[in-house]
Amino acid sequence: MRQGNQNQKVKIFRYVTENTFDSYMWQILENKQKFISQIMTSKSPVRACEDVDDAALTYAEIKALATGNPYIKEKMDLDIQVSKLKLMKANHTSQIYRLETDIARNYPMQITSMKERIAGLNADWEVAKSLLQKEKDDFSITVSGKVYTDRKEAGTALIAACSGLKTVQVSGTVGEFHGFSLSAAYDSFNQCYNLTIKGKCSYTVEVGKDALGNIMRIQNTLTGIEKKLPEAKLKLETLQEQLLSAQEDVVVKHFCNTYG
């Protein structure tokens, strides 16, 4: 292709002469492409270096066309087909290994974790539901070891407690809200404080500059636990369906491996 060609679309023509040295030249290109492709792709392990990629097969096909002997051409065609079948087998085996790993480890771990989360959300919601009803008339929160019954004073104290953490750049406990621990940390990237409300599960909110707003965020976060339960249950159902689907797929693929 001529350098300096400014056309957005160009056509590349490859010319070979039958019964000439072109066959050997395409053999060299094929070998180079095999080596490069096995390093630059994850289709087959680099240690093995056995499979042939699509570009290498294209070179092999051109090499076959440049060979005059029909038997050599037939042999090259068979080599190409065998290489393609080997690549398909390697991909098939890789899919089986991935499914077996998902079935034996990944999905069970995720399902167990989601069940624990649902149990934690249920427990936290039972606590939050009763205290939020109580908080309408009898508010109290502990910040830096002191109990506050005024929302604005509590919010101001919370901001002050968080500000003291900026210098040490670590997470620290700043208070407690009816069994839920409150810890804060400074996010240097977003330049804000994040408050973690922890019961059986953890919930994170950003600490703002408005004192009353911060107390409202804590209460809204606890109120929002109820909405998280259906989402977690749906996620659990999805994981269980994915596990079942993977188990069915691996049986089919093993059958194809044996009898296909």
Cα–Cα distance for residue pair 65/59, rounded to 1 Å = 10
Task: Write out the H or E segment, with its range, that includes residue 79.
Answer: helix 70-101
Cα–Cα distance for residue pair 7/203, rounded to 1 Å = 56
What's the pLDDT tens digit per position in 117-157?
A: 999 999 999 999 888 877 667 889 999 999 999 999 999 99
What's the pLDDT tens digit per position in 211-231?
A: 999 999 999 999 999 999 999
Residues facing residue 187 across a β-bridge: 192
Which residue did the predictor score with more confidence, 52 or 126? Answer: 126
What's the pLDDT tens digit per position in 164-195?
A: 776 656 778 999 998 899 999 988 888 889 99
State phi, psi for 108 to the nearest 5 degrees: -60, -40
* Residue 4 DSSP label: T
Q: 123-145 as b/e, with b when 16 or more CB fall inside 10 Å?
A: ebbebbeebeeebeeeeebbbee
CA 55 to chain centre: 30
Helices (H), 136-224: 151-163, 211-223
Q: Whole-model pTM?
A: 0.64
pLDDT at residue number 42? 59
How do the domains of the chain map onto residue ranges?
Answer: 101-259
What is the helix, strand, coil percentage profile of the chain, to 5?
60, 15, 25
pLDDT at residue number 41? 64
Average pLDDT, the chain: 82
What's the pLDDT tens digit per position in 81-129?
A: 888 888 888 888 888 888 899 999 999 999 999 999 999 999 999 999 8
Check pLDDT > 80 for residue 76.
no
